[in-house]
Amino acid sequence: MNDIVPIRNESAYNDAIAEVRRLWGAAPDTKPGNRLDVLLVLIDDYENRHHAIEPPDPIEAIKIRMETMALERADLVKMLGISSGRLSEILNRRRRLTIDMMRVLASELKLSERCLLMPYDLVPASGASHAHQPIRKHQKREIAA
């Protein structure tokens, strides 16, 4: 057996993966089992540095956790102490989570604060471009008529 060395490139990474496959199932506390354990640590470190998978944005994370925990929207409404309309705005990306909501979700859904604090885009509400425009005089007459 070769000495174990740090994984510094893709070739060494692929070689380590191949050796893990060969050693898979080795008994613990044996030479092959110990080698497997060390290789797994080295592979994990290399993957975290070079193939990191970013966590989903906060809304996706909430939806994924709701699915895995078999939670309904009503469960989140109760948990967050908000209306179902407010929850819909949040899950449809029309309103942002508040810090208090993030704290509750981190605690109750076991989501990381790092994930919940990640920025995410809001979707403009349909018709929002007209919602905040002032009503002109001729429009007031039409409304009154």
pLDDT digit string, tens, across residues 17-57: 999 999 999 999 999 999 999 999 999 999 989 987 777 89
Query: Mean pLDDT, the chain, as a whole number?
Result: 86
According to the model, what pLDDT value does residue 129 have? 45
Q: What is the pTM of this model?
A: 0.55
Residue 39 Cα distances to 4, 51, 77, angstroms? 8, 16, 45
Residue 143: pLDDT band by 50, 70, 90 thresholds? Answer: very low
The rounded distance, in Å, linking the Cα atoms of 5 and 15 is 11
Q: Is the pLDDT reported for residue 144 higher than 90?
A: no
CB 48 within 8 A of CB 106: no
